[in-house]
Structure 1
Amino acid sequence: MRVIALVLVGTLAAGCAAGAAEEPYAPAEAVSAAAILRKCTGGRLAEYQKGACLDDAAKDLGARLKAEVARKVAAIDAVGSRAPSPGSLAGREDADSWRKAFLAAQKAWEEYDRLHCDSMYDYDYHGGSNAGQFASMCRIRHLVARINEIRG
């Protein structure tokens, strides 16, 4: 059993060392949560600097997400100007339905992000000294995933 565990750990480490993709289905120009987290939590930053870096990164990603949502809505609106054709999204009706569904999904995602990451601060880490950092890391992971998902 011990040998199997060592082989598994070795295999996982080799996969990570070989540069295994953080997200295999991410778009070519994917944002990386790992890079952001390394920048903010590595090195010799004081704890307050780590927290500020994570908070700033989450705010920047929030702005990037807003821009991606606006870009996606513009792409959806462009569907409305296409002539309807069988088997493809085209026309005002398709664009309106798609926009409504996308914006509802985005609103639900925002609520999930808020509830999940706030619960980490309030309950998982009981508002302790690193709770804010963990909540910011949660937001960063969620924002990166959502940005990459919308871009995809």
Structure 2
Amino acid sequence: MKIGELAEKTDCPVQTIRYYEREGLLPEPARTEGNYRLYGDTHLERLSIIRRCRSLDMTLDEIRTLLRFRDAPEENCAEVNILLDSHIGHVAARISELKALEKELKQLRQTCNEVNAAKDCGILNNLATESAAPARSKKTKTGHVHGSHARSAN
């Protein structure tokens, strides 16, 4: 199948498929005489795994590790368990951070409970006078990036 068909079957943009190829997550596809990429069932399965892992918010390095074990089916999977336990810890930490963010936003929202002129808006005035909280979009030691706009390719 050509890249467009693979993209359609996996609901994955063509650019993202090419990105995963460049990152070494997908093997090089065969080429036609006209230099079109030709993908097989192996690519389809592997891309489906990658997409599922991304939906679980796993990093490309985590996915690389999981694929390495997938490619070596006789290996001991202890490292896979450790990886997933670590990822669960990351998710728990993010949930905690998001709850703190929600609390902060609710407190900010309470500073303006009536309609005023923008110059008298408690939220806007509070944002201008309160010291900034530590930056929320920061990379953790596990390579995860925190923050709502930090997500990379699908």
Greater Rg by CA: 2
Question: If the length of structure 1 is used for normalisation, what is the TM-score?
Answer: 0.37
Choose between structure 1 and 2: higher helix proportion.
1
Question: If the length of structure 2 is used for normalisation, what is the TM-score?
Answer: 0.37
Larger RCO: 1 or 2 (CA < 8 Å, sep 6+) = 1
